[in-house]
Chains A and B, each alone.
Chain A
Amino acid sequence: MPVVTLYISRLQKLVGKANKSKIIDALPFLGLDIEEQTFKYIRVEYSPNRPDYATDVGIATGLQGLLGIKKGIAKLTIKKADKNYSIKTDPAVKKIRPYVLGLIAKGGKLDDEIIRQLIALQEDLHFGIGRKRKKASIGIHNLDAITLPLLYTVKPKDHKFVPLATDKEMTVLQILDTIDVGKDYSAILGNSSSVPMILDAQKNTVSFPPIINSALTTVTTSTTSLLVEVTGNDSGAVSDTLSVVASVLQGLGFTLYDMKTDKKSSVESLKTRNILLDSSLVNQTLGLNLSSAQICNMLQKCRLDAVARGKKISCTIPSYRFDIFGPMDIVEEVALGYGIANLSPTLPSSVSVGQKSKTTLKLDQLGQIMIGLGYTEALNSSLTSKQVLYDNTKRDSAKLIEVAESKSQEHTVLRDSILPGLLENLSKNIHEQYPQKLFETGIVFSGNSPITESISLACVSAHKDSGYTEIKSVLQSLLKTDSNIECRTKTSENSMFAKGKTADVLVGGKKVGIVGEINHEVIENFKIRVPVSGYELVLSDFVL
């Protein structure tokens, strides 16, 4: 989850008319988790579906509502585009990155903190709704360095310009091959020979979407007018992205101007929309009995607009709240406006009798018997390593089930047996007092249609006199005590077990497991210094 740093004095100025403690106490009720709090600043975690909370302006807008300082939609005012405020789209770019929108923002003041927040907002939008710049990416530029109108076109890979944060001219190819952002995002452009490029009226390169801006248009603290361009493969994501940036820039005191594109002007994608809902949905879902007027008031506290006609409520939603899908999302807004702290818990009136699953009951019972037999319970991951599961135990790895791209070397293969994990446990405990007796019950995997999961029970006994007779006694006692099952043991061979000292476990003539003394090489592989015997039963095959 992304995190934003809020400087308390700045935030207080933005919210207005509220003391510090009130502001801080209200933060969690916007859905912000406080990660760190000092005298000067607070770091809060916000959910990625609310990118407007990447900036203190966005959070302040929310706080004003909850604290009752300002209610209803913080209306976006977009002034009409001047004659030159337009982006023309070259048809050739439509195959590579078809959508573009733009906006002009004038008369604002930028400082280092605001620039830092705008960059953070941009990165969050790129990652979340932009799906790593594929669906949408943003460029924010110094308008004074640009001559309008703009052309959104394609350029071959030998096209040259000075990219942001450098001072030398580079070709597109060099940028894609040598600069980090180029390497990270070049895949979005596919293998087309030409790439998208935004040029100004004097043919200067403004931006190479979705990779990098030009150094020419670098925004600094002395910049007062901005050009915002959003390009992408998904027209919805492009609009949504622009709407978040627009609301934040207006919150920062900029005056916004429309920019025309071939398809639609930016104003159109920044329009509000309406959702209709019934007050009974709100009251039933929240367990409250609110009047329509109360509901409207609560929605206004969440910086939405709402009007009621009888039980019908029409809610107006600003364009940057694309996290709102339908009536149920509006219900949540009412809950926030009402105040989660004001909702008192109740209990549902229905009564029912609960019960554990049959598997749980059986495993509890078998576990109790194993404990009675002196075995301590171990718990291991079902995702383990080839080393433990196959190499150390000399088992056949032909049917191993692997996961892709695990970040942990010790967790790459799904276990098909529990015993190897128990041997690994013994290996980590060679300095502890013997005898050591462990058991585990759990899920094991086999690779049929496409994966079958069974439940097994395994145990190991490690001490200087451990042997076949002892472990068969334990096996016999478990099955007899649990459900009076008689088992037979039939000579068999298994690479994990010692030759001549291992047997298949048969119940009603069917093989359900294996028992024996562990092969001395396997014991050595695990660096264990005492004899070990053990068994493993596939419970799903006979008692579950």
Chain B
Amino acid sequence: MSQVLHPIEKTIIKLLQSEKNLTESQIIEKAKLSADQTRRGIEWLRLKNLAVVQESEQLFLTLGKNGLAANKEGLPERRLVNLVSGGPVPFDDLRKKLLDEMNVAIANAKKNDWITITKNNSASIVSLKTNPDQTSEEKILAQIGESKIAQDQIKDSATLESLKKRPDYIILESVKTKTLSLSEQAKSIDTDAADSGAIDVEADVPMIYAAKTHPLKDTINEIREIFVSLGFTEIAGNLAQPGFWNFDALFTPQDHPAREMQDTFYIKDKLAQNFATQAQINSVSASHKKGWKYPWNLDAARKMVLRTHTTCVTIKYLAENKPSEARVFSLGRVFRNEKVSYKHLVEFNQVEGIVVGKNVSLRDLMGIQTQFYKKLGLNKIKFWPTFFPYTEPSLQTMVYNEKLDKWIELFGMGIFRPEVTRPFGITRPVLAWGGGIERIAMLKYGLNDVREFYNNNLSWLRSTPKCQ
């Protein structure tokens, strides 16, 4: 037999090989083990099918508050006969002594035929009939006394039942006893045989947790790797941006609902200085005046906001570098002033890539998307038209999710509008696409609540496997 036995198990087996059945407390006593060791040993042996555990229940009795009092001062009916042993006593005088036990005392004393009650004028008088011996109830009270005894030690069960009916005389306690005997297999175990030094390699061991990257960071890193593998170079920009780069440079009119405080976080008391060249400001202003027909206001463009997309990083890069060929991407936090829910966060990660080139087309953009999703393991995709304020034409990707058995909207894409690129002197087409990363990570980790990513719940961080 390959099983390795713990010293505790060996001790118990040895003991049971000489004495067929032992209770838990007998084992504790005979094996000189602690209660805890014994309990564990019994449980191990049971799990290994080496011992059979039989549980039996035994009832124990102790006296309750009234029972203890009666044992000391006598049952109510005994106190009654004691009071009338010196001669008849009026009913009312007895009541003053016995108080609320009066009724019980009279009833029982009459039932036992110890007293007679006579009526004299208006008062009732109680007199002793016979001087009683110790009753069977009194015997049981005396037998229990202050100790705890097993119910089966009391032979007179009828009297015990009547005592139990008296309030708070007898307290019943059920005690479960485990009796252990060896299984056939264990009877033949030679506990002194040669497993000494071996340990139970099959036993459970304590759990330790490997430190690791955050699961969302793993998805972020995976997406970053894909961009790099597709030939894109990473660019970065600030989270706090002047309205100019977040909105105006992207042809979002200054009275557009998306610019309102209920959608966008404005930073209190902060205005941007020197955020763009005068030429850039002039041409953006002119583009708004021409396209949207309103007087563009520099002060609105100076207000600092928490960026609502990574596109502000892209457009600033384009404006500053005016590349004729480029493949760049930016990845980072973006913000929306929304109520936090299982679907929405105020702060989440977004990635955006662009391709600038002489002959790049919408079909190329679709091709890059297809490659991107393929690398993420998403092969069933299709494209639908959609609307974005700063791209034209615009598409969105629909990705088929096997687990959910439905099409899910993922990244959006499009070609930057001329109204966006021309003011910065960019004449070549700029293909752009991007979207939220948490959405992809939720699919990967099978989460229904996006907040889980930022709860930093250790049990989740520790238990989420790297590979999904």
Measured CB to CB, the residues of A under 8 A from B are 28-31, 33, 47, 49-50, 127-128, 131, 234, 236, 284-288, 323, 325-326, 328-329, 331-332, 335-336, 340-341, 343-357, 359-360, 364, 367, 370-383, 401-408, 410-411, 414, 425, 428-429, 432-433, 436-438, 443, 445, 447, 449-451, 453
Q: Which residues of B contact A236 (CB under 8 A)?
A: 293
Cross-chain contact B361 with A357 (CB below 8 angstroms): no
Please report the number of residue pairs spanning A and B whose Cβ atoms sit closer than 8 angstroms. 251
- With CB as the reference atom, state the residue of chain B lying closest to A407: B339
Kindly list chain B residues whose C-beta atoms are within 8 Å of the C-beta of A346: 361, 363-364, 366-367
Mask, B13-48, CB within 8 Å of A = 1, is 000000000000000000000000000000000000
Nearest-CB residue, chain A, relative to B357: A350
Q: Which residue of A lies closest to B329 (CB)?
A: A354
B224 contacts partner chain A, Cβ-Cβ < 8 Å: yes
A414 to chain B, nearest CB (A): 7
> Other than the known A332-B392, A376-B461, A451-B270, what 19 A-B pairs have Cβ atoms closer than 8 Å?
A28-B384, A47-B386, A285-B361, A287-B364, A328-B417, A336-B385, A343-B383, A345-B363, A347-B364, A350-B325, A354-B228, A354-B233, A354-B327, A356-B234, A382-B239, A382-B347, A406-B346, A429-B456, A438-B456
A514 to B199, CA, bound (A): 47
Q: Select from chain B the residue with minimum beta-carbon distance to A344.
A: B363
The 23 sampled A-B contact pairs (Cβ below 8 Å) are A50-B387, A236-B293, A285-B415, A335-B385, A335-B393, A336-B385, A346-B367, A347-B368, A360-B224, A360-B234, A376-B211, A377-B212, A379-B216, A379-B456, A401-B267, A404-B266, A405-B261, A408-B346, A411-B347, A438-B456, A450-B271, A450-B273, A451-B270
| In the complex, B457 has a CB within 8 A of chain A | yes
Question: Among the listed stretches B70-78, B134-142, B163-171, B330-338, which one makes contact with chain A, having 4 or more residues with CB under 8 Å of it?
Answer: B330-338
**Distance of A29 Cα from B337 Cα, bound (Å):** 31
A353-B231, A382-B239 given as contacts; is B304 within 8 A of A376 (CB)? no
Residue pair B362, A287 in contact (C-beta under 8 Å): yes
Q: Smallest CB-CB separation from B395: which chain A residue?
A: A340
The answer to whether the Cβ of B435 comes within 8 Å of any Cβ in the partner chain is: no
* Smallest beta-carbon distance B210→chain A, Å: 8
CB-defined interface of B210-231 with A at 8 Å, one 1/0 digit per residue? Answer: 0111101100010010011111
Are A348 and B368 closer than 8 Å at their CB atoms?
A: yes
Number of interface residues of B (CB under 8 A): 90
Q: Which residues of B contact A401 (CB under 8 A)?
A: 267-268, 270
Complex CA distance for A406 and B266, rounded to whole angstroms: 9
Report the 10 A-B pairs with minimum CB-CB distance, sorted nearest first.
A287-B361, A47-B387, A287-B363, A332-B393, A345-B367, A345-B366, A354-B228, A357-B234, A425-B456, A403-B265
1/0 per residue B445-468: CB within 8 Å of A?
Answer: 000000001111111011000000
Which single member of A344, A352, A364, A411 contacts B221 (CB below 8 Å)?
A364
Most A CB within 10 A of own CB, among B224, B240, B347, B394: B240
Could you say which of B214, B339, B395 has the most chain A C-beta atoms within 10 Å of its C-beta? Answer: B214
Q: A331-B393, A381-B347, A405-B262 are in contact. Are A284 and B216 (CB under 8 A)?
A: no
> Any chain A CB within 8 A of the CB of B376?
no
CA distance A50 to B394 in the complex (A): 14
User: B444 to chain A: closest CB distance in Å?
Assistant: 15
Contact A379 B214 (CB under 8 A): yes
Contact B291 A374 (CB under 8 A): no
Q: Considering the complex, give the chain A residue whose CB is closest to the CB of B393.
A: A332
Across-interface contacts of B333 in A (CB, < 8 A) = 382, 443
Main secondary structure of the interface of B (DSSP, over half): mixed
Contact indicator A380/B362 (Cβ below 8 Å): no
> Which of B267, B409, B456 is close to A451, meaning CB atoms less than 8 Å apart?
B267
Chain B residues, Cβ within 8 Å of A380: 454, 456
Q: Does B238 contact A (CB under 8 A)?
A: yes
B91 proximal to A (CB < 8 A): no
CA A378 to CA B233, docked complex, whole Å? 26
Alpha-carbon gap, A374 to B209, bound state (A): 9
Q: In whole Å, how far is B273's beta carbon from the nearest beta carbon of chain A?
A: 7
Task: Report A34 CB to chain B, min CB distance, Å.
Answer: 9
Bound state CA distance, A189 and B304, in angstroms? 29
What is the distance, in angstroms, from A100's C-beta to the closest C-beta of chain B? 19
Does any Cβ of A come within 8 Å of B370's Cβ? Answer: yes
**A30 proximity list for chain B (CB < 8 A):** 385
Contacts of A449 in B (CB 8 A): 273
A343-B267 in contact (CB<8A): no
Return chain A residues, CB-CB under 8 Å to B371: 347
A347 to B232, CA, bound (A): 14
A371 partner residues in chain B, CB cutoff 8 A: 211-213
Closest Cβ of chain B to A292, distance in Å, is 18
Q: Is the CB of B231 within 8 A of A450?
A: no
Which of B216, B267, B293, B382 gathers the greatest number of chain A CB atoms within 10 Å?
B267
Are B265 and A406 neighbours in the complex by a CB distance under 8 Å?
yes
A414–B267 Cα distance when bound, in Å, is 9
Interface status of B378 (Cβ within 8 A of chain A):
no
Query: With an 8 A cutoff between CB atoms, is B306 at the interface?
Result: yes
Taking CB atoms, residues of chain B closer than 8 Å to A411 are 340, 346-347
The reply to whether the CB of B257 lies closer than 8 angstroms to some CB of chain A is yes
State whether A379 touches B454 (Cβ < 8 A): yes
Q: Does B59 contact A (CB under 8 A)?
A: no
Contact A402 B267 (CB under 8 A): yes
Contacts of B246 in A (CB 8 A): none
Task: Please indicate the chain A residues that have their CB under 8 angstroms from the CB of B346 in the complex.
Answer: 381, 383, 406-408, 411
A365 CB, min distance to chain B CBs, angstroms: 12
- B364 and A436 within 8 A (CB): no
State the CA gap A438–B457 with chains docked (Å): 11
Kindly provide the distance from the CB of B225 to the nearest chain A CB, expressed in whole angstroms: 8
A378 CA to B327 CA, complexed, in Å: 31
Identity of the chain A residue whose Cβ is nearest the Cβ of B338 in the assembled complex: A407
The answer, yes or no, to whether B429 is at the interface (CB within 8 Å) is yes
Q: Which of A355, A372, A407, A425 has the most CB of B within 10 A?
A: A407
**B236 neighbours in A (Cβ, 8 Å):** 357, 359
Chain A contacts for B382, CB-based, 8 A: 341
Q: How far is it, in angstroms, between the C-alpha of A379 and the C-alpha of B457 when the chains are bound? A: 11
CA distance A360 to B351 in the complex (A): 14
Q: Is the CB of A284 within 8 A of B363?
A: no
A377-B327 CB under 8 A given contacts A408-B340, A428-B457, A450-B271: no
Whether a CB of chain A sits under 8 angstroms from the CB of B62 is: no
Q: Give Cα distance in the complex from A480 to B269, angstroms.
A: 41
Binary per-residue interface labels of chain B (333-361) against chain A in the complex, 1 for a CB within 8 Å, 0 otherwise: 10101111000011100000001010111
A284 and B429 CA atoms in complex are apart in Å by: 10
| Chain B residues closer than 8 Å to A364, beta-carbon distance | 221
A378 proximity list for chain B (CB < 8 A): 214, 456, 461
Bound CA span A332–B361, Å: 12
The complex places the Cα of A374 from the Cα of B235 at a distance, in Å, of 31
In-complex Cβ contact of B360 among A348, A355, A373, A383 (8 A): A348
Q: How far is the CA of A381 from the CA of B346 in the complex (A)?
A: 9
Residues of A close to B359: CB separation below 8 A: 284, 348-349
- Smallest Cβ distance from A46 to chain B, in angstroms? 9
Cα-based distance from A349 to B418 in the complex (angstroms): 23
| Cβ-based interface call for B285 (8 A) | no
State whether A49 and B387 are in contact (beta carbons under 8 Å apart), knowing that A377-B214, A383-B346 are contacts in the complex: yes
Give Cα distance in the complex from A403 to B319, angstroms. Answer: 28
With contacts A335-B385, A382-B347 taken as known, whether A286 is within 8 angstroms of B266 at the C-beta atoms is: no
Taking A284-B361, A286-B363, A450-B304 as contacts, is the C-beta distance between A402 and B268 under 8 angstroms?
Answer: yes
CB-defined contacts of B255 to chain A, threshold 8 Å = 131
CB of B272 within 8 Å of the partner chain = yes
Neighbour of A404 across the interface among B232, B261, B361, B384, CB < 8 A? B261
Question: In the bound complex, do residue A345 and residue B267 qualify as a contact, i.e. CB atoms below 8 Å apart?
Answer: no
Distance in angstroms between the alpha carbons of A29 and B270 in the assembled complex: 43
What separation, in Å, do the CA atoms of A374 and B208 have in the docked complex?
11
Are the CB atoms of A332 and B394 closer together than 8 Å?
yes
Q: Does A31 lie within 8 Å of B456, measured CB to CB?
A: no
List chain A residues, Cβ under 8 A from B455: 428
Residue of B nearest to A409 (CB): B340
* Chain A residues positioned under 8 Å from B429 (CB to CB): 284-285
